[in-house]
Chain A
Amino acid sequence: MTIKIYGSLVSRATRNLWMLEELGVDYERIDLDWIKQENRSPDYLKINPAGQVPTLIDGDVTLSESLGINLYLAQKFGGGVLWPDDDAGQARCIQWSVWAAGELEPAVYPRVYEFVFKKAKDRDDALIVKLAERTLPLLDLMEGALSASAYLVGDAFSVADLNVAGVMEYLDRSDFDIAQWPKTVAWYETTYGRAANQKVQGERAPVAEAMLKRIVEHSRSEG
């Protein structure tokens, strides 16, 4: 049975689409339009009670949490490649995924909200400063890890890199300058630039542009 991913190209589902492209696994993407509240329909709430995207369905497995879905996909289809064979490597893939969700995402996601959805004059400058302060030690940590090895878990690309880069893209999108962390810059360019992700990002770009226009119109209509 084909894997189903619920979510649009302008949602955290892109992280999973990137993973599926890396793995070369067949899948079907089911777009849910949150402006039309399709993520709150009774049918969708049955598979994801919080009404969030993405959700993965693979046979009898139904999962939410984008980074958790990626761990599942790596474990099922990426053994020895995206999912290391050794206990220590596997432990660190999970560590970096939880770190990306618990430490990195809260520091960088609100920044996108300020930069992408708000006009320059409406930005909360105090929040932006606070977020930057929170982000610096996280980048120091990554720089340290990437000074010891080419990728976060040893010298090969793994689900750890994909999950962390999938969150770091928020810094990229909100023009956060990471030049003072050169190893991280090089790692991000190589990782985020992978063909599998570029395919997803290429499909996403025009959809994102159209979506942004709709969000602006929607927020105006909400007064």
Chain B
Amino acid sequence: MITLLGKAASRAGRCLWALEEAGIEYEHKPVDYAKGEAKTDSFRAINPNAKIPALTDGNVAMFESLAINLYIAQNYGKGSLWPDDAAGNSACQQWTLFAATELEPPSAARLVEFIFKTEENRSQEALDAAAEKTKAPLDALEATLRDRDYLTGDYFNVADLNVACVAEYLVRTKFALSSWPKVNDWITRCLARPAFAVMLDIKATEMAA
């Protein structure tokens, strides 16, 4: 059985969303990075990167949240999260790397300003720089969504999940998406999915504990 390590308020939330979409049984260990729980020898044996999330599944042990989601999709989401055709599969990988390289750096920079800093300590310069770098990837998404409902076609799959879980940072930090109406509509649909709501519940429960 799959074990996912990392609390929901971390990037592990992305993988919890994927697991809930796949609808499979899994074990979740809410390892807390801030408490040093990822720096222990037992955790490092699973993930030498000493970061969360990590996943184990039989003899598979891996890290990188977006790669974990591709693994979940390929192995437990055939025909739904993972398309049946080679063109669809490669598109899922492409969008995953797009999320990691193009969208994550400016989105994460924004999240840092909003979540980890008080309002008076927020750097407008950093926010402006992030906003500038966000435009090109949003333009690319807008152009892609012009003729389809989801990134690789007409249904939700791991490409959407991996891009949406990063774009969610923009939504969370109230970045105005009005110039990108197709993106705005798409992310709204992605984040309205029941599996995403389950992940938010897990997160809320953990944070209240």
| Interface residues in chain A, defined as those with a beta carbon under 8 Å from any beta carbon in chain B | 45, 49-50, 60-61, 63-65, 67-69, 71-72, 75-76, 87-88, 90-92, 94-95, 97-99, 101-102, 105-106, 141, 144-145
Contact = CB atoms under 8 A, between A and B. Distances in A.
Contacts of A75: 86, 89-90
Contact of A68 (B58, B86, B96, B139): B96
Contacts of A141: 48-49
Nearest to A76: B86
B139 A50 contact: yes
B204 interface: no
Given A72-B93, A99-B67, A102-B66, 19 more contacts: A49-B144, A50-B102, A50-B140, A68-B90, A68-B96, A68-B97, A72-B94, A87-B60, A87-B75, A88-B59, A91-B60, A91-B62, A95-B67, A97-B67, A98-B67, A98-B96, A102-B64, A105-B101, A106-B101
B93 A101 contact: no
B175 interface: no
A187 to B, nearest CB: 16
Interface residues of B, number: 36
Interface of chain B, main secondary structure: helix
A95 B68 CA distance: 7
Residue of A68, A76, A99 ringed by the most chain B CB atoms within 10 A: A68
Given A94-B70, A141-B49, A102 B60 contact: no
Interface in B95-136: 96-98, 100-102, 104-105, 136
